[in-house]
Chain A
Amino acid sequence: MEFKVSHTTSYDYDSGVTFCHNIATLKPKTMVGQTLLDYDLEISPKPSEITERLDFFGNTITRFSIQQHHKKLKVTAKSIIERNYKLEPNIEDSETGKTITLNEALSILKTNNKEFIDIKQFILESIFIAQISPEVKAYAEKSFKPNRPVFEAAFELMQRIFTEFKFDSEFSTIATPIQEVIKAKKGVCQDFAQIAIACVRSMGLPARYVSGYIETLPPPGKEKLVGTDASHAWFSVYIPKFGWVDFDPTNNQIPKNQHITVSWGRDYYDVPPLKGVVYSTGKNKMNVAVDIRPA
């Protein structure tokens, strides 16, 4: 299936900006089951410098700076992606993957295997997911049992977050600590993903944060409106002897073709779509519009 994604972020500055430095993490990955066919990053005003490189986690990041005075910054990432989740290994088809228990997983991860280096870092604390509270751990322990398969437990965790947490875009900001989210049991996709990651890590298992898009389908019979989509986030658990398995706790499903992966990291901190430092005296207003449709 082919998708056309357009992701626009714009900033309006009250009193203008003399110059700015920015980093964008907007380029979708090419990986098994997902191919980036075309990609274009439009920035206005035109940056005086722009470079692209891979970050520590293998995501493509674009760094640019604008040295002329401007009152509006507009960044649009346009991608065409071919998605075929059937090419990905399916955990349902893997008897070992499906049945490996928490205890087994932990003891496999303990072995000194060079391949685990990049994986084991996702067990550790990260910037936004640090000092995991006993409350988070207790929440995780309801699903994760020593002799229960990891996959089953993670699936249940996803379901529990979906049913027990309320989607509330007013409640949290990117800086809301997970401790507050678990208490209030509300937030947005990014909070749910980070809560899940904290739970999985509290069990000693690797979990990573996945940033991307989800195609929303219009109500039957109606045409899809532009701008109803948004950037999305979910989590992924490493199951030894199988590999990474994605879970979307906001939509209670294992991602298939509707999910498009842009980047991953330890948490949101590693992969914000756009960040930067501006030199200005006034306030700014941000606006984001995402549109995904079959190409």
Chain B
Amino acid sequence: MPIDKNILFENYFSDFKNYDEVLKSNMSVNPNWEKLLNNLTQMGNETMISKQNEMDWLMDENGVTYNVYNDPKGMHRSWQLNIVPFLIHEKEWETIDRGMQQRSELLNLTLKDIYGKRELIKNGIIPLEVIYAHRGFLRQCDQIQYKTAKNLLIHSADLARGPDGRMWVVNDRTQAPSGMGYALENRYATSRILPDVFNDIHVKPPTSFFSDFNKMLLDAAPQNKENPNIVILTPGPLNETYFEHAYLSSFLGYPLVAGNDLVVRDGKVWMKSLKELKQVDVILRRVDDVFMDPLELREDSYLGVAGLLDVVREQQVTIVNPIGSGILENSGLIPFMNAVCKYFFKEDLILPQIGSWWCGQKKERDYVLENLTNLVLKRIDKSNRESIVFCEFLKKTELENLKKEIIENPFVFVAQEKIMFSTAPDFVKDKLEPRKVMCRTFSIAKDDGYSVMPGGLVRVAAEREDLFVSNHRGGVSKDFWVVTDKPQTNIQNYSWDNSFKISISGINDLPSNTAENLYWSGRYLGRALVTARYLRTVLNKMSNEQYNKQKEQSESLVCLLKSITHITSTFPGFIGEKGKAALDNPLKEILSILVDSDRAGSFAQTLSSFNNSYYTLRNLWSKDMWRVFDGIQKNWKMFVAEADEKTTIQSMVKILDKIITRLIAFMGLIEESILVEQGLLLYFIGLQTEQSMMSIAKCRSLLVISYNEQPQYEILEALLSSHESLNIYRYSYRSHLSTENVIGLILLGQEYPKSLTYQLKRIQKDIDRLPHPEGLGETTDCQKFITEAHTIIQNLNLESLLELKEGTIIRQNLDDALTVLSDLLHEMSLAISDTYFNHSYQQKQLVNQNFDL
């Protein structure tokens, strides 16, 4: 294809310096890319722009995120996928595939040797210090035997194309490699948004790779069980790749757990579930080596499980990858890998590696010291971007200091050559630009070798001339195609045969951490909805009064404003001496209750608590739920950003309208997306409990005092409207609003689902369905409290509730009854925590010592 005719390539080469994947130096196109470029050209520039927008939107909507540590804007940063895929032809891929298999096996044997006989060191193939001076060499893991076919079960390598046109190995990832989930989501998104881009191109699907992955996990179980219990261990939602942990959990169908969901007892690992402890056979971990066991490794770690390493030693659990495999993430090994390859296989490495000099050897160190400005310096045990030094940018004194450091502690330094890696076309704004790319490949252990994912994750440098490619800086990714001339079946089918998988385990097996988050999701969601509706009601009332141009605030409005403070517990608010100023300028106070996220009880805080518990559960939610959730976030953020003293009643009502609608949509989706056995029950209990508590608070602040006819009417109207019960009241009573009927409907109504009586009955029913842990007697405390509350409300007498205390305008009996119910619900909530989410015992060190391992 002549390049000058292609508008997409306009100025592509204007500052061309590097090897490019597509354009050869004679300006002709790499034939492997022709079809793809044709498809893109067919699409045309306009379409490409809109497709890229659509892609950004989809990634956003699907909640594909990548958190960046130490970056205030970094939480839940959107994952970016460029619409132009990266491709490699099968002919070349075959070599990479073989090269990866060789390298994975080689690292496997090296790992076995390092923690076993150490023949490589004894025979002088690897210098002692490359292993012993590396912080990842965990002496606690020495001589541990594994039942799995391989020691290294997952291996990932970053590859980039060097100046010689071959793919080079830049890094190995062996502890808990990330990226597989992103790769899968990239393929899913590309086929969804850009079906045409696949026209006439056969792309190898990752189906059989993921099937091998699943089989590896099943086979890893030490006891060869039929249905081994497999869990995915995450450091938690703050981790940079939490999206992927949750994604793999739903994709593979194994529960996502945190360190405190697991416990070691009787020489085994157990998962805390609602009913009991359940034995765990395999842990697919996303927690780094040293954090895995606070007893033997980093003692201040809360991400692992105390005593775990001993369970591994006794072969009662398998960790994927085994603890200690971080020793292979070692740039000090690179210069010796070819010798290791010859030692084990009597052959050379298939994939070349980046030129590296380990400073522990005199000749190499001298070379490094002499040529430091042209090199990149790393610590052998730290490969993150922050600890890589690009020596060309150093000042003279910095260079001298670095040299001193190398001489002082030569064993821990490796220098690597500066390489110009190849570029590939990236769609930026409205045209293609050459950008450096790095390919992360994955392999999985099988009985007889390794299975390599066809393709992988391609990451793109953020800037045109960026030296390095890393997700940490929030880069862009690409779908990675291995194209073949043979037609492929089921390109868009990414699930595999599920028939051998365990059927959904009942609510008994729900991890207690998940249960707790579901419960609180319900509570926060209920609180958000009730608060939003109540604020909207009061704002509407204010708006009406302004319309009436009344000079003074009416008695009813003052009552309603004060009730906001009671219901949201945002004292002093409108109450007391301090509340007078707020009453003079009620809008300011309401805005603060809305958007001030530092204020306890504020709507903003409720929303953010809801976000947190929601985010920890993301493996349970459907894509539709993400979309709605995202809508809430975006609308809310926009409102908060613009909120100031000029914000009008109307704009507050408008945002509350938007959020209320979405919260309701969200609640509807929860009920249809999650099964009761998956924990929906806990969500319901939380939701109903919160709504009941809020109803009680509302009634206490609006119904206990008896007002004159006019304000009474307005208050009752507001109460019913905030309760979304005005129409039902009118339908049921067809009469003037009276306190008697209102109490009859929203507190005592037997058949009305929004009444307190009905809600308490429902909570009781749901609590009865919870698993009954052993040793707690006939009935749990949760059952006792809710049964008492339900009995009390059923025996309430309407007339007695309406009675005024002698000489006052206070309905004392009503207030007393509501207080008792409120206390019982509170006790019940505590009892639920104690019975089912028992995390109250904190992990502690016998002797406090915190230090880096």
Which B residues are in CB contact (< 8 Å) with A11?
846
A49 interface neighbour in B121, B266, B842, B844, Cβ under 8 Å: B266
Per-residue contact bits, chain A 255-295, to B (CB 8 Å; 1 contact, 0 not):
00000000000000110101111111100101000000000
- Given contacts A127-B853, A277-B844, is CB(A21)–CB(B306) below 8 Å? yes
- Given contacts A51-B310, A65-B265, A121-B128, is CB(A20)–CB(B122) below 8 Å? no
| Contact across chains for A56 and B307 when beta carbons are under 8 A apart | no
- Given contacts A49-B267, A275-B845, is CB(A117)–CB(B128) below 8 Å? yes
Max chain B C-beta neighbours (<10 A), residue from A11, A67, A116, A278:
A278
| Contact across chains for A121 and B294 when beta carbons are under 8 A apart | no
| Contact across chains for B849 and A117 when beta carbons are under 8 A apart | no
Max chain B C-beta neighbours (<10 A), residue from A57, A120, A128, A276:
A276
| Contact across chains for B409 and A21 when beta carbons are under 8 A apart | no
- Given contacts A55-B139, A125-B133, is CB(A281)–CB(B265) below 8 Å? no
Q: Does B731 contact A (CB under 8 A)?
A: no
Which A residues are in CB contact (< 8 Å) with B758?
none
Q: Does B392 contact A (CB under 8 A)?
A: no
B118 interface neighbour in A48, A63, A117, A286, Cβ under 8 Å: A117
Q: Does B19 contact A (CB under 8 A)?
A: no
Q: Does B393 contact A (CB under 8 A)?
A: no
Q: In the complex, how many angstroms separate the beta carbon of B290 from the nearest chain A beta carbon? A: 11
Which A residues are in CB contact (< 8 Å) with B851?
127-128, 175, 269
- Given contacts A124-B129, A280-B841, is CB(A175)–CB(B849) below 8 Å? yes
A117-B128 Cα distance, complex, nearest whole Å = 7
| Contact across chains for B296 and A23 when beta carbons are under 8 A apart | yes
Which A residues are in CB contact (< 8 Å) with B118?
117
Residue in A closest to B850 when the chains form the complex, CB atoms: A175
- Given contacts A11-B846, A125-B133, A277-B306, is CB(A21)–CB(B264) below 8 Å? yes
Q: Does A139 contact B (CB under 8 A)?
A: no
| Contact across chains for B265 and A275 when beta carbons are under 8 A apart | no
- Given contacts A23-B296, A124-B132, A174-B849, is CB(A277)–CB(B307) below 8 Å? yes
Q: Does A18 contact B (CB under 8 A)?
A: yes
Which B residues are in CB contact (< 8 Å) with A277?
294-295, 299, 306-307, 843-846
Per-residue contact bits, chain A 208-252, to B (CB 8 Å; 1 contact, 0 not):
000000000000000000000000000000000000000000000
A280 interface neighbour in B310, B842, B853, Cβ under 8 Å: B842
A124-B137 Cα distance, complex, nearest whole Å = 13
| Contact across chains for A22 and B122 when beta carbons are under 8 A apart | no
| Contact across chains for A22 and B846 when beta carbons are under 8 A apart | yes
| Contact across chains for A124 and B846 when beta carbons are under 8 A apart | no
Which A residues are in CB contact (< 8 Å) with B306?
21, 277
Q: Does B519 contact A (CB under 8 A)?
A: no
- Given contacts A276-B846, A277-B307, A279-B844, is CB(A114)–CB(B122) below 8 Å? yes
Q: Does A167 contact B (CB under 8 A)?
A: no
B295 interface neighbour in A174, A269, A276, A281, Cβ under 8 Å: A276
Q: B255-307: which have CB < 8 Å to A?
A: 264-267, 294-296, 299, 306-307
Q: Does A19 contact B (CB under 8 A)?
A: yes
| Contact across chains for A120 and B299 when beta carbons are under 8 A apart | no
Max chain A C-beta neighbours (<10 A), residue from B122, B299, B307, B853:
B307
Q: Does A107 contact B (CB under 8 A)?
A: no
| Contact across chains for A278 and B846 when beta carbons are under 8 A apart | yes
**Interface size classification for chain B:** 35 or more
Q: In the complex, how many angstroms separate the beta carbon of A98 from the nearest chain B beta carbon? A: 28
A122-B151 Cα distance, complex, nearest whole Å = 28
Which B residues are in CB contact (< 8 Å) with A65?
264-265, 307
| Contact across chains for B847 and A174 when beta carbons are under 8 A apart | yes
| Contact across chains for A19 and B265 when beta carbons are under 8 A apart | yes
Which A residues are in CB contact (< 8 Å) with B299?
275, 277
Which A residues are in CB contact (< 8 Å) with B852?
127
A281-B842 Cα distance, complex, nearest whole Å = 6
A49-B848 Cα distance, complex, nearest whole Å = 24
Per-residue contact bits, chain B 41-70, to A (CB 8 Å; 1 contact, 0 not):
000000000000000000000000000000
Which B residues are in CB contact (< 8 Å) with A117?
118, 121-122, 128
Q: Does B840 contact A (CB under 8 A)?
A: yes
Q: In the complex, how many angstroms separate the beta carbon of B418 from the nearest chain A beta carbon? A: 28
Per-residue contact bits, chain A 174-206, to B (CB 8 Å; 1 contact, 0 not):
110000000000000000000000000000000
Q: Does A112 contact B (CB under 8 A)?
A: yes
A279 interface neighbour in B122, B128, B132, B842, Cβ under 8 Å: B842
| Contact across chains for B122 and A120 when beta carbons are under 8 A apart | no
| Contact across chains for A280 and B850 when beta carbons are under 8 A apart | no
B844 interface neighbour in A67, A270, A272, A280, Cβ under 8 Å: A280
Q: In the complex, how many angstroms separate the beta carbon of B142 from the nearest chain A beta carbon? A: 5
A117-B304 Cα distance, complex, nearest whole Å = 32
A246-B507 Cα distance, complex, nearest whole Å = 61
Which B residues are in CB contact (< 8 Å) with A280?
841-842, 844
Q: In the complex, how many angstroms separate the beta carbon of B515 from the nearest chain A beta carbon? A: 20
Q: In the complex, how many angstroms separate the beta carbon of B598 from the nearest chain A beta carbon? A: 28
Residue in B closest to A278 when the chains form the complex, CB atoms: B844
Which A residues are in CB contact (< 8 Å) with B845?
275-278
A117-B330 Cα distance, complex, nearest whole Å = 19
| Contact across chains for A272 and B266 when beta carbons are under 8 A apart | no
Q: B101-126: which have CB < 8 Å to A?
A: 118, 121-122, 124
A280-B844 Cα distance, complex, nearest whole Å = 7
Residue in A closest to B849 when the chains form the complex, CB atoms: A175
Q: Does B28 contact A (CB under 8 A)?
A: no
Q: In the complex, how many angstroms separate the beta carbon of A212 from the nearest chain B beta carbon? A: 19
Which A residues are in CB contact (< 8 Å) with B145?
none
Q: In the complex, how many angstroms separate the beta carbon of B512 from the nearest chain A beta carbon? A: 15
Which B residues are in CB contact (< 8 Å) with A56?
139-140, 142
Which B residues are in CB contact (< 8 Å) with A124?
129, 132-133, 411
A128-B299 Cα distance, complex, nearest whole Å = 14
| Contact across chains for B132 and A121 when beta carbons are under 8 A apart | yes
Q: In the complex, how many angstroms separate the beta carbon of A107 from the nearest chain B beta carbon? A: 13
Per-residue contact bits, chain A 15-49, to B (CB 8 Å; 1 contact, 0 not):
00011111100000000000000000000000011
Residue in A closest to B132 when the chains form the complex, CB atoms: A121
Given contacts A21-B295, A277-B307, 16 further A-B contacts (CB under 8 A): A21-B306, A22-B846, A49-B266, A55-B139, A117-B128, A120-B129, A121-B128, A124-B411, A174-B847, A175-B850, A272-B847, A275-B295, A276-B846, A279-B844, A281-B840, A281-B841
Taking Cβ atoms with an 8 Å cutoff, the residues of A that contact B are: 11, 18-23, 48-49, 51, 55-57, 63, 65, 67, 112, 114, 116-117, 120-121, 124-125, 127-128, 131, 174-175, 269-270, 272, 274-281, 284, 286
Q: List, sorted by A's number, 6 A–B pairs whose CB atoms are closer than 8 Å.
A: A117-B128, A272-B847, A276-B295, A276-B846, A277-B846, A279-B842
